[in-house]
Amino acid sequence: MAMTDVLSAEDIKKAVGAFSAAESFNYKKFFEMVGLKKKSPEDVKKIFHILDKDRSGFIEEDELKFVLKGFAPDGRDLSDKETKALLAAGDKDGDGKIGAD
């Protein structure tokens, strides 16, 4: 499955482009721009599984660093600061990883 099976290619391109500058990533705005906020929980889980590169059932910090590349191959890597902010926002139980729920 590809991101474009769930999300609009145009929305992905705009969102990845909007955060191409270093230290500009805002996960709330990004997820809104790609259309995730309007998707069903099932569609969000599909995106989660695409981003879970090692198929562990979790998205760990090393996978989050490359989250923009998960949406578009030409996306940049997140900085350590951006990665930690995204992890902190999604890690509800403090175990250092984000689960599908």
Residue 75 lies in a domain: yes
Residue pLDDT tens, the chain, 101 long: 899 999 999 999 999 999 999 999 999 999 999 999 999 999 999 999 999 999 999 999 999 999 999 999 999 999 999 999 999 999 999 999 999 87
Please state whether the predicted TM-score (pTM) of the whole model is above 0.85. yes
The reply to whether 91 sits in an annotated binding site is: yes
Q: Please provide residue 77's backbone torsions phi and psi, each rounded to the nearest 5 degrees.
A: -75, 145
Smallest Cα–Cα separation from 2: which of 33, 61, 40, 47? 47
The reply to whether 77 sits in an annotated binding site is: no
The domain total for the chain is 1
The reply to whether 101 sits in an annotated binding site is: no
Residue 99 lies in a domain: no
The reply to whether 52 sits in an annotated binding site is: yes
Smallest Cα–Cα separation from 67: which of 38, 29, 27, 36? 27
Q: Which domain holds residue 19?
A: 3-92
Q: Please provide residue 74's backbone torsions phi and psi, each rounded to the nearest 5 degrees.
A: -90, 10
The reply to whether 93 sits in an annotated binding site is: yes
Q: What's the rounded Cα separation, in Å, for the pair 27 and 32?
A: 8
The reply to whether 97 sits in an annotated binding site is: yes
Residue 97 lies in a domain: no
